[in-house]
Amino acid sequence: MDQNDSQTGTGVNPENNQNENNMASLLEKEGLGIDFPTQGEIRKGVVASVTPGQILVSVGTKSEGIITGKEYELIPSDELANLKIGQEIPVYVVNPEDQNGNLILSYMRAREEEGWSIVEALLANKQATHSTVIGYNKGGLIVPIGGLRGFVPASQISLTRRAGVTGDTPEQRWSKMIGSEIDVCVIEVDRERRRLILSERQASTETRESVKERVLEELKEGETYTGRVTSLADFGVFVNVNGADGLVHMSEISWDRIQHPSEVLKVGQEVKVKVINIDREKKRIGLSIRQLQSDPWDQKAAQFHEGQLVEGTITRLTKFGAFARLTDDIEGLIHISEISEKRIEHPREVIKEGETYTLRVIKVDPTVHRIGLSLRRVDSMAYADMDWQSLEDILSEDEDEEKKSDETNSDK
């Protein structure tokens, strides 16, 4: 054992220890007794000067650190304009010593690191925070938290806010929300992928049931609203109106015959609907799409009137009568009592499927889309005057056409 070691009993040379203390004292006197920064470290600094293209920040070293070049350009112009000498700011150590001996700092990287720490704490605590919508993309809203840009997917937007969404493009759906205040919870943080996912729904105390109760009170039967298709079923389609789903039954989707709602509608499609029924006890909303459309049957059936003689082809025979096609998309019903003057048990005793007959229109009912026809009244004297007038009208039209033709030929 060394003599000095035996004297101290610790194995430490007092002379060496004294030398270290003297060196520390000398470094302190020379301004070198400092806590040297390391790359990636975040420190609090004091702005020493702000000049175009460069900011000097004192972080406790002998010389100030520099924010310049790309790190200077990253600072938003409004924040740059507000930086004052003597102001304390966070800084990120980019390089403790570059080739020129400068300490290179970044203000925005420090802000970002602090932001990640903030959102990680919010995620851990499941705490809601208040912010403002600053933008959008096709999938949802952009909301800043702690200097970071967070994303609120459409599925995480509150029911109340989504109820007011209209339009088919992201601009139509989300642009009017820019500038609106919003409370959100952090639900996913991924620093490496720079991914920050937020949820307004988790920050909201409003439940789907409470929304539906509110909507049931606000909706009025007979009024028209804009909604969005949420799901399709064999029996109809569900449309969200102001935050609550209502049912458009198959019979209320279209005036045309369809086998499934998917033939005319798709999930996410915006539609106009009319409220036709509200059952507040069962919390059901009945909607209609077709009642907001003009009924094509009215226009198609406008050419038919009571007493008119028409040609009809028998398409189907039943025990109660026969159906006759008058045009490509208009059929009429000949009740069994209107087929013959004699009593018959079945229409097949008098008429045959596929054959064409002259028939009398005896009723046009637009409310049920039905035209009543008669075979036995074709020669009825009750319609003699009407038939005679119809014949005169036809002859008159033929004469007019003849005159026009003669005039045309004479001009030539």
> Among 273, 292, 311, where does a domain finish?
292
Please indicate, yes or no, whether residues 377 and 301 belong to a single structural domain of this protein.
yes
Please indicate, yes or no, whether residues 365 and 346 belong to a single structural domain of this protein.
yes
pLDDT-derived band at 203 (thresholds 50, 70, 90) equals confident
Q: Residue 148: CA atoms inside 13 Å, Cβ hemisphere, count?
A: 26
pLDDT-derived band at 26 (thresholds 50, 70, 90) equals very low
The DSSP letter of residue 347 is G
Please indicate, yes or no, whether residues 92 and 147 belong to a single structural domain of this protein.
no
Average pLDDT over residues 230-237: 89
Distance CA 150, CA 159 (A): 19
The answer to whether the beta carbons of residues 324 and 315 sit under 8 Å apart is yes
Distance CA 56, CA 354 (A): 97
Q: What is the pLDDT of residue 402?
A: 58
Is 35 inside any structural domain?
Answer: no
Is 28 inside any structural domain?
Answer: no
Please indicate, yes or no, whether residues 311 and 369 belong to a single structural domain of this protein.
yes
Q: What is the pLDDT of residue 276?
A: 93
Q: What CATH number is attached to the domain comprising 306?
A: 2.40.50.140
Question: Looking at 7-21, 31-45, 101-115, 204-218, which range is the least confident one?
Answer: 7-21
- Choose from 78-87, 298-307, 311-320, 389-398 the range with maximum mean pLDDT: 311-320
* Residue (of 96, 91, 87, 89) closest to 109 by Cα position: 91
Is 4 inside any structural domain?
Answer: no
Is 190 inside any structural domain?
Answer: yes
The pLDDT tens digits of the residues spanning 181-194 come to 999 999 999 988 98
Q: What is the pLDDT of residue 187?
A: 93
> For residue 352, what are its two tokens?
């045959």
More confident residue, 99 or 26: 99
Domains of the chain: total: 4
Beta bridge partner(s), residue 261: none
Please indicate, yes or no, whether residues 140 and 191 belong to a single structural domain of this protein.
yes
- pLDDT(334) > 70: yes
Is 236 inside any structural domain?
Answer: yes
Is 150 inside any structural domain?
Answer: yes
Q: What is the pLDDT of residue 392?
A: 57
Is 26 inside any structural domain?
Answer: no
Please indicate, yes or no, whether residues 285 and 223 belong to a single structural domain of this protein.
yes
The pLDDT tens digits of the residues spanning 159-175 come to 778 766 777 788 988 99
pLDDT-derived band at 34 (thresholds 50, 70, 90) equals low
> For residue 210, what are its two tokens?
């409470």
Q: What is the DSSP string of 91-130?
A: EEEEESS-TTS--EEEHHHHHHHHHHHHHHHHHHHT-EEE
Q: What's the predicted TM-score (pTM) here?
A: 0.47
The amino acid present at 150, given as its one-letter code, is G
Please indicate, yes or no, whether residues 183 and 223 belong to a single structural domain of this protein.
no
Is 337 inside any structural domain?
Answer: yes
Owning domain of residue 252: 219-292
pLDDT-derived band at 9 (thresholds 50, 70, 90) equals very low
